[in-house]
Amino acid sequence: MKAVVTRNLKAAGSADKPTMQAAAADASTQLQHMCALDIDSKASYVRLSGIICTIGPVSRDVAMLEKMMETGMNVARMNFSHGSHEYHAETIANCRQAEKNYSAKLGMPFSLAIALDTKGPEIRTGLLEGGGSAEVELKKGDTIKLTTDTSLSEKGNASVVYVDYKNITNVVKPGNRIFIDDGLISVICQSASTDTLTCTIENGGMLGSRKGVNLPGLPVDLPAVSEKDKSDLLFGVEQGVDMIFASFIRNGAALHEIRGILGEKGKNIKIISKIENHQGMVNLDEIIRVSSCVIISIISFIIITKIDMIFASFIRNGAALHEIRGILGEKGKNIKIISKIENHQGMVNLDEIIRESDGIMVARGDLGIEIPPEKVFLAQKTMIARCNSVGKPVICATQMLESMVKKPRPTRAETSDVANAILDGADCVMLSGETAKGDYPLECVLTMANICKEAEAAIWHKQLFVGLVNEVKAPIEQDHSVAIAAVSASNICLASAIVVITTSGRSAHLLSKYRPRCPIIAVTRHAQTARQAHLYRGVLPIVYQEAAAADWLKDVDNRVQWGLKFGRAGGFIKTGDAVVVVTGWRQGSGFTNTMRVIHVD
């Protein structure tokens, strides 16, 4: 059998075991750990972090998608800020065909997750007088009026520009700063009337039509889910997406709305919240609590296209997530919603958003406009840490290898940025324009995979494990006890892998929470469980397709052997190696309570 490449999983061609910074692993202090890091130490054969690739014009054909999977792509992201339903349906079909082709090439099922990234609630300028391609120059020190008068929505010029947020004149006060076009242009409000803000241009430049507007630090009251979002989410449910990346999540209510839209059919779709503004940070704990993982005109599309995940944009609170869930409905209840924290509101409500999401995305693009850029690293670290603490997956995104859109090698700063995201504790890292429109999509995936492996080896796992265990207060639930025991055993006996039999994926997710140094081979009969498991650090999901044996214990052993076969094919399990096996005591989901150590013969 050919080497299996789930997370760049290839036989190394050498009998030597990787050292994985072994000299630093048992250091007693952070300083000792850092001093012991060795640039000549071999990284693991296996990459534990997930790689999410945005699919665009340069990467949407079947042949290229196959190559990207072979190079290391785990999740294919569809950006619904661009493209029609027909365009995305065709891209999703190409992904599924490439998945089949690559599985046949490997000789065993390969799981590629599909994520839908929502456009989210946003503010934009109107059209200029010259049309969609026109530009006007805004000069520093000049006066410009921002108006909500719809009669001027297609008559913008250097003196007056339409803005599509009706309440902007009530939200913005004199002295407030407004950013336009990803922060390239900034103006300061001098006065406000019923429908117009009179502003002084602070930083000028060329302004085009339909540019984004950011109001950093201000409590924007945009609807959590637009009509377009609802349509797209429902379409995504029909397409069978695995995840929703919910943009600009401000609080937990937005996530409840998304879950309502997903409904019963999309109940298993992961919701990844994107924290993209200050509001999202304030509500961070709420958002994490409601999300599946931290990253709504899209909801109809999601149901139709059977997507696995939704990335919901500009989530500011938990209410937006409840709205998304409501739209997805019964048919989309399995879709996971990932909240994208992209503004100050999202940060304020962070804990609420985490609670309501299936995960979180650190969306550093708009977040870097909504909060001071020198604060972005603090937002990244606290979001990742809070997600790690509660066991929710977290994605780091935006400009990770931006220079590789046009160049075959990354800058040194980009290399460090990717590595530090992994060291911070990110489960996945994401490529945007690099793979959607760049000249070197395959080189980007390979570069990111190699950086991840080196960074994973440099993590101070000893201290990390202690910290994660200390977060769990006694009495510890049974499934957590088994997960902690399994990870502890894998560390002590230097296991090559943990093999876990899982139905819903929860057992594998719990093992991931406690961050073993070795890979977690999650064997499941359910394809969506396998696809969604790519969100979790260390989990290598494989689908077992053989008919169930009459004897349940024999069937469990068959699945364990399938996991060991996968590890052997990947080159990271060899004869004589210790492997930790985690199984249930009876058939069905929720009964995992058995851990044992075996030696491979």
| DSSP letter for each residue of 555-590 | HHHHHHHHHHHHHHHHTS--TT-EEEEEEESSSSTT
Is the pLDDT at 4 greater than 70? The verdict is no
State the pLDDT at residue 300: 47
State the pLDDT at residue 260: 83
Reply yes or no on whether 415 is catalytic.
Answer: no
For range 446-452, the mean pLDDT: 98
| More confident: 331 or 382 | 382
Topology (CATH level 3) of domain 478-599: Pyruvate Kinase; Chain: A, domain 1 (3.40.1380)
What are 323's two structure tokens?
A: 């709205």
State the pLDDT at residue 13: 38
Q: Where are the domains of the chain?
A: 123-214, 227-398, 478-599
Is the pLDDT at 12 greater than 50? The verdict is no
State the pLDDT at residue 8: 43
Among candidate residues 47, 274, 537, 559, the one labeled active-site is: 274
State the pLDDT at residue 303: 54
Reply yes or no on whether 124 is catalytic.
Answer: yes
Distance from C-alpha of 434 to C-alpha of 476, rounded to nearest angstrom? 43
Reply yes or no on whether 515 is catalytic.
Answer: no
State the pLDDT at residue 292: 66
Q: Which of 1-15, 300-314, 435-449, 488-502 has the lowest mean pLDDT?
A: 1-15
State the pLDDT at residue 192: 96
Question: Phi and psi of 368, rounded to 5°?
Answer: -70, -10
Q: Which of 73-87, 107-121, 259-273 has the lowest mean pLDDT?
A: 259-273
- Tens digits of per-residue pLDDT, 538-566? 999 999 999 999 898 899 999 999 999 99
Stated length of the chain: 601
For range 572-592, the mean pLDDT: 84
Q: Which of 216-220, 425-429, 481-485, 590-594 has the lowest mean pLDDT?
A: 590-594
For range 426-441, the mean pLDDT: 97
β pairing state of 185-192 and 177-180: antiparallel
Directed axis angle between helix 461-470 and helix 478-492, to 10°? 160
pTM: 0.88
- With bands split at pLDDT 50, 70 and 90, how would you rate the model's confidence at 2? very low
Beta bridge partners, 163, equal 125
Q: Per CATH, is 123-214 categorized as 2.20.28.90?
A: no
Burial of 446 (0-12, 13-18, 19+ CB in 10 A): middle
Among candidate residues 10, 77, 306, 517, the one labeled active-site is: 77
Reply yes or no on whether 77 is catalytic.
Answer: yes
Q: Which of 212-221, 352-361, 515-524 has the lowest mean pLDDT?
A: 212-221
Among candidate residues 124, 437, 525, 565, the one labeled active-site is: 124
Among candidate residues 6, 54, 196, 398, the one labeled active-site is: 398
Distance from C-alpha of 283 to C-alpha of 294, rounded to nearest angstrom? 12
Question: Phi and psi of 478, rounded to 5°?
Answer: -55, -45
State the pLDDT at residue 590: 59
